[in-house]
Amino acid sequence: MLNDLREMITNSADETRDLGKKMASNCKGGEVICLKGDLGAGKTTFSQGFLRELGAEGALTSPTFVVMKQYAIKKNVLNLKSIYHIDTYRVGSKDILDLGWEEIIKDKQNIVLVEWPEKIKDILPEYSIWINFEIVDEKSRKISVI
């Protein structure tokens, strides 16, 4: 998905955003992308690049407090509809199911980004893509497809 890239180091938030853009441009629709890693590791930063690449508008803020944000896909070559950016930090599988999870992932015109995916492992589809974020130092992050 990140082309041949299994693992790379970014040295700034912008480089992580660029990686998000690159991944977005390779998506076809129907992806569930799990973003795993500690607080501050860059999951939301990556998501911002991803969302911007597909034409999401408005403030691309973390969904931590609202749990789920839906963005219309405006840059639409593939007839994609929405990106759902989910943060399960404060909730669990049942809360996510109650937000219409099954319908959302069933629609192959949607793309779903999940921060803290390990908290809803029981409802993640088998085809989910996992990306791991690790803090190397203040400005560097190791990002790998796992």
Ligand X SMILES: Nc1ncnc2c1ncn2[C@@H]1O[C@H](COP(=O)(O)OP(=O)(O)O)[C@@H](O)[C@H]1O
Q: Does 16 bind Mg ion (CB under 5 A)?
A: no
Interhelix angle 13-25/43-53, nearest 10 degrees = 50
The listed partner (ligand X, Mg ion, none) that binds 42, CB under 5 to 8 Å by sort, is ligand X
Q: By CB under 6 A, name the one of 26, 40, 75, 118 that touches ligand X.
A: 40
Contacts (CB under 6 A) with ligand X, residues 84-123:
115
88 interacts with, out of Mg ion, ligand X, none, CB within 5 to 8 A per kind: none
Please give the C-alpha separations between residue 128 and each of 9, 41, 74, 113, in angstroms, as whole numbers. 22, 20, 24, 10
How many residues form the binding site for ligand X (CB under 6 A)?
A: 20
Do residues 140 and 42 touch, judged by C-beta distance below 8 A? no
140 binds, among Mg ion, ligand X, none (CB under 5 to 8 A by kind): ligand X
If you search the block for the tokens 């980004």, which residue do you land on?
Answer: 113
Residue nearer to ligand X on the CB measure, 69 or 141: 141
| Contact map string, positions 62 to 81, toward Mg ion, x by CB under 5 A | x-------------------
Contacts of residue 81, defined as CB under 8 A and 6 or more positions apart, other chains included, come to 72, 73, 107, 109, 110
Residue 27 backbone dihedrals phi, psi, to 5 degrees: -80, 150
Query: With CB cut-offs between 5 and 8 Å by kind, which of ligand X, Mg ion, none does residue 37 bind?
Result: ligand X
